[in-house]
Amino acid sequence: MASSAAMTTSHPTHRWRFPETPRLEPGFLADGARRGLSERTLHILAARGHAAPGDLAAFFDPPGATLHDPGLLPDAAAVRARIARALDAAERVLVFGDFDADGLTGLAIMVIALRALGLDTAPYVPDRRAEGHGLSLAAVQRARAEGRTLIVTVDTGTTNVAEIAAAGVAGIDVIVTDHHHVPARLPDAVAVVNPHRPGSLYPDPRLAGTGVAFKVAQLLLADRPGGAAAALALADLATIGTVADVAPMVGENRAIARLGLELLRSAPRPGLAALLAAAKVAPESVDLDTIGYAIAPRLNAGGRVGDAETAAHLLLAATVAEAEPLAAELETANRTRREMTATALAEARTIADRDPAAAAVVIAGDWPVGIIGLVAGRLAEERGRPAVVVSSGVDPWRGSARSAGGFDLAAAFDACADDFERHGGHPQAAGCNLLDGRFDAFRGRFLRLAAEAAPADPRPQLRLDLAVLAGDVDYRLHGDLQALEPTGPGNPRPLVGVAGMTVARARAANGGHAQLTLRKGREVIDGIAFDRGDLVGLLAEGDVIDLVAHLVSRTFGGYETLQLEIVDTAPEGTLERARAAGATVPA
């Protein structure tokens, strides 16, 4: 049996990159020390670009104190004035929200805020299959039929020139709140509240659609008795949408998430309490992973395989009794969604395998529109390349894209605009409706763009935050890393390179995973390598390896233990050679 690193055949499947660590200024070190932060944590923050004056305050001060003035949003004054007119005239309002978790939570925020002001407000969620993304003419017709003279969009609307013009002809004003790519021509709306607009003075444009809705709620409720607190109480919804939309977990998004997590853990609103119960999740255990893997998929499931309005009604439910049957309906839809996704993903992988050297995955098949984004996301994650998955089962064909390796999907789709009826999105995710017969032309153009941007080494990149010896993996290290929570895009879970772990056991775990028992001196630590069942045949007892992992703490049977969530492994010495070839990281 192998007993030396020379026999190890597990070579890294990723490129290990060590970022440069800037010199820490005395003032930054002193501020960190006052906050109880270790120098190791400060090195990680500095390497992530958080070493400027005031950065630690923005990261660690009470979150309510780090929110920005919503009056700085584009067209904020126009929004206030139009809502004031609606109140004076007792107008009826329609809130139009997109059918994903970002749009749904933003819609709930806006409906709750407008109703708190005293406005007759109705939610509207479009049918994904019949209406697609963006403000629809069907919604305009609904507003007209119900005598609603104001539409407020959430997480959409910036590109809906024709639909907003049609609303105007019908005597309906539109306020757009959105965060998506801003085109050269804006719609003729009363206001276009989008922090990405040219000339915007808003300090942090990285808000998700639900984040923009949250800021508009703050804007509108600020002058009402108890309004400021009522607006902050909507942070739970804004947190869910922010996580679901994979918005950067830094700046104001981080502040919103810190506020929202506290609400979700301590006092979840009725709809979310029912949803958590259906998912068998204890509220006090909720974290951003819970949102990403339990809450958001269930909210999305209605729009993917059922009726998205179910999720909207759940979020607006006044009692748990009202919410429970809605949560059960979403639970059933989520099970169906998982089954459909698994089938479509297997088919998509087969098609993608026909062109393994392509710089991107661009495929089409007769798959439900509601799941192509999920399939694209899995393909992009697995292959480390941008992925576009097109449903050919609808007319027009619809595509959904997910990025990898920093590829800008919004810019790429703009470059392919003459292949589309319409398109939109942002650098990480985008969607389109294809013109008839243009798939092949679009595929060729997109692949050329991806090839021009592709790195020389096609393996996905891992950005390591620090490197340690096996004996340094302990609760002190875990505490240093925990200071960065909540983590997410833009502030990812810290990746640690660990040198010199000895394999004691490698066995297969259910679901295609590998369960490892590792030795660090006389102590042992468990490791789990998700979707890396291949490691069982590559590692043997006695092999000494380097690895890259997340360090987590798990509780089982009342006992808390450390565990390594292993992302990649390599023969002993790989970590030191990689670090010597690039920049140094704190040890």
125-146 per-position pLDDT tens digit: 998 878 888 999 999 999 999 9
Ranges 70-79, 230-239, 303-312: which has the least confidence: 303-312
pLDDT in the model for residue 461 = 82
Averaged pLDDT of the chain: 93
**First CA to last CA distance, the chain:** 33
Contact 470, 520 (CB under 8 A): yes
Categorise residue 251: left if φ over 0, alpha if ψ from -120 to 50, beta otherwise.
Answer: left
Place 15 in a pLDDT band, splitting at 50, 70 and 90: confident
Categorise residue 573: left if φ over 0, alpha if ψ from -120 to 50, beta otherwise.
Answer: left
- Residue 523 bridge partners (DSSP): 520
Show the domains of the chain with their CATH numbers.
5-48+465-581 (2.40.50.460), 60-232 (3.90.1640.30), 353-453 (3.10.310.30)
Place 6 in a pLDDT band, splitting at 50, 70 and 90: very low
pLDDT in the model for residue 128 = 83
Place 587 in a pLDDT band, splitting at 50, 70 and 90: very low
Place 378 in a pLDDT band, splitting at 50, 70 and 90: very high
Task: Work out the average pLDDT over 107-126.
Answer: 98
Q: Name residue, tokens 């929200």.
A: 97
Q: Element (H or E) spanning 441, and its range?
A: helix 439-453
Place 181 in a pLDDT band, splitting at 50, 70 and 90: confident
Place 585 in a pLDDT band, splitting at 50, 70 and 90: very low
Task: Work out the average pLDDT over 313-322.
Answer: 97
**Tens-digit pLDDT profile for residues 55-78:** 999 999 999 999 999 999 999 999
Sequence-ordered list of residues with C-beta below 8 angstroms from that of 66, at least 6 positions apart, any chain: 57, 58, 252, 255
Q: How far is CA 375 from CA 310, 343, 345, 347, 421, in A?
A: 23, 10, 6, 10, 22
Does the pTM of the predicted model rise above 0.95?
no
Q: Report d(CA 222, CA 232) in Å as an integer.
A: 10
DSSP 488: B
Strands 150-154 and 92-97: parallel
Q: Report d(CA 238, CA 210) in Å as an integer.
A: 5
Quick check: 276 pLDDT over 60? yes
Q: How far is CA 197 from CA 79, 178, 185, 259, 425, in A?
A: 16, 10, 11, 27, 14
3-class secondary structure, 26:
helix
